[in-house]
Structure 1
Amino acid sequence: MAGMVRLTRAQQQARTRSAVLDAAVEEFAEHGYADAKIDRIAARADLTRGAVYSNFAGKRSLYLAVLLDHAPWHAAAALDLPEVIPVTAAAEGFARAWLERLPLAGDTAAGGRLRSRSVAGVFDDEPGRAALAQITKLEALLLARALEACPPVARRRVRLAELMLTLLHGADHLAGTAPGFGDLFDLTRACGHLAGIPLTDEWDPPHLAFVPPAERCDAPWTPPDGVGGDGLLVILGTARLGAAEEAVRAAAPDDQVTVAVVSSDPAETGALARLRLTDLTVCLRRSFPVGVASTLHIELDDGPSLAAAVEAALTGSPSDHTTGSPPHHPADAVPGPRSASMPEHSTGSRRGLSGGSTSTPVRRDFSVGDETEIAVRIRGGRIVAWASGRGAGHAVAVALRDGGAGQP
């Protein structure tokens, strides 16, 4: 027919995906995750079952895509916050932002879970539970870093953050299973009161003393567009997100630490990490002053491309991330910074860079998956130290810190 515009293949795929998501919102809101059916979603969208599966691997990945696409509370106007907020007020503000997404009085059980972006019952398998545990550890670190910057300034407030998240996740669960139970104002004040409890919150993991040192190198750094800058880049799989604190605590006070999240299953565990960490970041932005804990950045989009860029810099060409190759820049036998240069809050390995002994070389592994742990230090647009495997973030954070001994 004259005047008809022929859609490209990409445009048709985007239209089909949008139709599936719209239909899935209705299905999940009416029946909940457990009772939702792919056949009914396909019928609602006037598509075949195959068309749904051509866009989404299964019901779980589709549900996560719906939650990521359906977040009206993210669009709420930013609050005009003072430049300095005491920790008690900050804790209460974070609780208020968190509780805004809880189900409303007239919501159905299924609709309420969709509104609160609940994943209860979605990840009951062991890999899913393990991923949730690691994601929650990273959530606690992000919240703790913001709380630590609030007066009275504290060296570590991870235990406070864990208590707050335990209370708020519990409130989220009860809002779905026992609607009307509890008072939101009391919950908010309770989070403020938690900030006043004296907690023993030390950081001294014994295993860090046995982490192999980072390797020194000198390689040009060409990051993906929009990502870069000097500092520490730590690439972590969803099963290793708790290791982010190892880099954060060992880093110099002015080091920019970027944690890039990767997964062997981007549509499920990767999407789960994106969902939870995005929601938490929104709450932080609405309750803490701009710039608080700005030395820690979470990268949710470019983890695989950052890993490929690191591999390309250190080997000359990226692989398919199934095997690793040694860098063509050999490690130099130079001493690392001594304990005197370590920040007051940092403990663990005193070795900064690999030395003359080659009996225990650093494992060279660029594979990307749930267990990934790769770290590099970037200075002046070049990678000057790197490590992979358990403790990589700590090893690189210690290496060449503060421009100390062994700086290229």
Structure 2
Amino acid sequence: MARLTRAQQQERTRAAVLAAARREFAEHGYAVTKIDRIAERAEMTRGAVYSNFPTKRALYLAVLADLVERSAGEAGQADGSDGSDGSDGSDGITGAAGQAPRPSPDSVAGSLGAFARVWLERLPLTGDSPADGHLRLRSLSGVLDDEPARTALTQTARLEALLLALALESYPPPGVRRVRLAELVLTLLNGSAGLAETAPGFGDPFDVVRACDHLAGIDLADAWDPPHLPYVSPARPCDDPWTPPAEVSDRITGRPIGLGDDGVIAVLGAGRLAAAEEAVRGALPGDRVTVVVVTGDPAEIGRLVRLRVDDLTACLRRVFAPGAWPTLRLVLDDRALVAAALGLPGVGDATEAAVRVRDGRIVARAEGRGAAHAAAAAGAPDAGAPDATRHGGGEA
């Protein structure tokens, strides 16, 4: 029998720890579970567990992320798409046996109802134990008990709302911002999950779906006009070489992408993800907008962002046809490879920096609050100064 390589052995160890942890969390819940019991269940030492997952919270988040990935694969097989999002080398556009993907619903209301149905599949089943239901719900109750993690969750929720809104904005009329609508829908769905966990059996999921459908008709007077943007300093012109990492993955499509296209690259810490919309709204037609997420804590904060983004995008891919997916590209840069290539040392959760790329070179740079907007605005003919009239426009 051929000997396993070091990488293969590490992957086997990691898989065994995840399987043991999943069973332990499902039986006992997050608070009561002990690393020693997980190690015993996996027939490993405590040190072997910690060498792969430095904390219990990191392990729990990894278990949830693994469940999201498995659920997405099973859902893809059920609808004939074989679960492929392009991460296996396929184009992520056609389904199994070359089948065309199902079309998007024909209205904002229909898409919200469909999104709610997909999202609510996580509700616990009759007979699930409280701890098992906790896992099905991807529950973070009692897990994020410190300020950095809570801040990262808030910012990630803002990013989730933007991604859902960009899909909804593919419907006419053009130029209508739907971020507040997306936030309202996600608030309702997450609230339903919270009740399902604390008051099992309360409420009817079908009523929640109908409510999400009807939310499309509410006038939320949604406008894009952040008060700080007129005071953002312009990006600095430059002419720097740009050699991006060879290959990174877009978490929205699941496909490998290059970063050499003309457009805006915004590097945002996990505590600054709401600034992604500044790059999107300020971008010029034809720009590629890429948000690169960095963190000073990949094991916990990085996994939290990955969990939430992958969960949301898995739902989007089941509801919207590829042409309606957010054109924003999203890279989770746990090792700060993109940031290093851009010459950004010491990135962390508070990082906000952006560049504009043109013809394979970096032609403008910005750092600090408003950097994403400044880099996006640097491509405009009147880029010499901030201009409040541009805040509502742009396509990603």
Same-fold call, TM cutoff 0.5: yes
CA deviation after TM superposition for structure 1 residue 368, in Å:
0.9
Unaligned runs of 5+ in 1: 312-364
2:354 alignment partner in structure 1:
375
CA distance, structure 2, for counterparts of residue 378 and residue 171 of structure 1: 43
What is the aligned-residue identity percentage?
Answer: 62
The one of 22, 33, 36 aligned to 1:36:
33
Give the secondary-structure state (helix, strand or coil) at the position aligned to 2:292. Answer: strand
> Structure 1 residues 303 and 231 mapped into 2: Cα distance closer, same or farther (>3 Å)?
farther
Match for 1:183: what amino acid? Answer: D
Q: In the TM superposition, what whole-angstrom CA distance separates every residue of 1:170-193 from its partner, at most 9, and x where no partner exists?
A: 111111112221111111110111
Q: 2:44 aligns with which of 26, 43, 47?
A: 47
- Give 1:5 shift: 4.1
Secondary structure in structure 2 of the residue aligned to 1:222: coil
CA distance in 2, matches of 1:102, 1:41: 26
Indicate if the aligned counterparts of 2:104 and 2:111 stay in contact, CA closer than 8 A: no
CA distance in structure 2 between the partners assigned to 1:154 and 1:113 by the alignment: 39
How many residue pairs get matched?
349
Query: How does 1:41-190 map onto structure 2 within 5 Å?
Result: 41-71=38-68, 72-75=70-73, 76-77=75-76, 80-82=101-103, 85-190=106-211
- Contact kept? 1:261, 1:303, Cα under 8 Å: no
Residues 230 and 379 of structure 1 are in contact (CA less than 8 Å); yes or no, is this contact kept in structure 2? yes
Q: CA RMSD in A?
A: 1.9
Are the aligned partners of 1:88 and 1:193 in contact in 2 as well (CA < 8 Å)?
yes
Unaligned runs of at least 5 residues, structure 2: 82-100, 248-257, 385-396
290-299 or 127-136: which moved more? 290-299
The reply to whether residue 22 of structure 1 matches residue 19 of structure 2 is: yes
Is residue 378 of structure 2 the alignment partner of residue 399 of structure 1? yes
Residue 272 (str. 1) matches residue 321 (str. 2)? no
Give the match for residue 240 of structure 2: 219
| Structure-2 separation of matches of 1:309 and 1:59 | 32
In the aligned structure 1, how far is the partner of 2:292 from the partner of 2:230?
Answer: 25
Q: Within 5 A, what are the aligned runs for 1:178-217?
A: 178-217=199-238
Please give the secondary structure, in 2, of the residue aligned with 1:156: coil
CA distance in 1, matches of 2:23, 2:214: 40
1:306 aligns with 2:338: yes
Amino acid at match of 1:62: L
Q: Distance in 1 between matches of 2:330 and 2:233?
A: 25
Cα displacement string for residues 265-320 of structure 1 (whole angstroms, at most 9, x for unaligned residues): 00101100000011111111111221225431111246711111111xxxxxxxxx
Q: 1:29 to 1:302 in 2, by over 3 A?
A: closer
Q: SS of 2:218's equivalent?
A: coil
Specify the alignment match of 2:366 in structure 1: 387
CA contact (8 A) 1:232 1:376 kept: yes
Q: 1:83 to 1:175 in 2, by over 3 A?
A: closer
In 2, Cα distance between the equivalents of 1:122 and 1:30?
17
- Following TM superposition, by how much is the alpha carbon of 1:404 offset from its aligned partner in structure 2, in angstroms? 6.6
Contact kept? 1:85, 1:288, Cα under 8 Å: no
- After superposition, the Cα gap between the structure-2 partners of 1:303 and 1:393, relative to the gap in structure 1 and judged at 3 Å, is farther
CA contact (8 A) 1:208 1:391 kept: yes
Quickly say closer, same or farther: Cα 1:376–1:382, change in 2 above 3 A.
same
Corresponding residue number in structure 2 for 1:230: 262
Corresponding letter in the other structure for 2:352: E
The one-letter code of the counterpart of 1:218 is D
Residues in 1 aligned to 2:282 and 2:189: alpha-carbon distance in whole angstroms: 29
Structure 1 length as normaliser, TM-score? Answer: 0.81
1:384-404 per-residue CA deviation (whole Å, 9 max, x = no partner) reads 111111110000000023x67
Worse overlay, 367-376 or 152-161: 152-161
- In the superposition, the TM-score normalised over structure 2's length comes to 0.84
The structure with the larger Rg is 1
Distance, in Å, in 2 between the alignment partners of 1:114 and 1:83 is: 29
